[in-house]
Amino acid sequence: MIKIEIAGNTDIGLVRHKNEDTFVIDTEEQFCLVADGMGGAAAGELASRFFGEATAEVFTGMVNRSEEIIVQKVQAAFKEANEKILRHIEEKPEHKGMGCTAELLALADDGFVIGHMGDSRTYRVRHRRMRQLTKDHSLVQEQVDQGIISREEAKVHTMRNIILRAVGVKEDLALDILRGQVEDGDLFLLCSDGLSDMVDEIQLETILVEDISLERKANKLIDAAKKAGGKDNITAVLLKIG
């Protein structure tokens, strides 16, 4: 198994009345996740919690850590969470509209697998340079890809929170799977949009390359988002290789 260190934290922020984010870290099973609930009164916090619970169940007792097995486990976690949310909505129609965005990072024998859906994000710092690994499933990102608006315009667009994919919304999942090799010293950041919308990439990278513990980095990321306004729930999970 790859030697790792994981830390995470979440905060309600300065505007919202409840925290709909969920994070799970598991050094033994070598995975971590961030889920951002949506739906407000429609129980978004339940949706994100369901994702965390489903993933923990799927990854319990891992033995074979080949890349293909890990990919299957990641896909199964999203499928189980999706079905769990949809069943809940059938039982409680007043919760129609609930769902969550989700980032799930799991380690294979010699690499990583990421499951991604929505506008939560995964970044990687390698050799002190940060790179965004995932692409938002959002209306403004689609417009950026089509050349309709610029990345700078997307950051302040009035419709930047319109999500095109989420867990628990449709029976058919359009899930992004990313995979790659890891190097000693790699640092992964999984976060909800309450962090990435409030803190620019230069400041994110500055904090992530500091020579401090992962716990302090997670806390500094959340503090930075709150200083910028804390308009949403804020969650940051860090996983370091080596």
Check: CB of residue 73 under 8 Å from CB of residue 59: yes
**Predicted local distance difference test score (pLDDT) of residue 40:** 65
Beta bridge partners of 126: 129
Question: With 90 as the cut, is the pLDDT of residue 156 above it?
Answer: no
pLDDT in tens, 54-82: 999 999 998 899 999 999 999 999 999 99
Q: pLDDT tens for residues 158-199?
A: 777 788 899 999 999 999 999 999 999 999 999 999 999 999
User: Which of 136, 119, 236, 230 has its CA nearest to residue 187?
Assistant: 236
What tokens does 75 get?
């896909």
Least Cα distance to 196 among 164, 222, 159 occurs for 222
Tell which CATH classification among 3.40.50.620, 3.20.20.150, 3.60.40.10, 3.40.50.740 matches the domain 4-133+164-241.
3.60.40.10
pLDDT number for residue 147:
85
Beta strand pairing status for 129-132 and 234-241? unpaired
Domain boundaries, the chain: 4-133+164-241
First to last CA, the chain: 11
Mind listing the pLDDT tens digit for each residue in 210-231?
Answer: 999 999 999 999 999 999 999 9
The pTM of this model reads 0.94
In sequence order, the 6+-apart residues with CB closer than 8 A to the CB of 61 are: none
Mean pLDDT confidence for 118-142: 93
pLDDT interval class at 41 (50, 70, 90):
low
Distance, in Å, from the CA atom of 214 to the CA atom of 117, rounded to the nearest integer, reads: 25
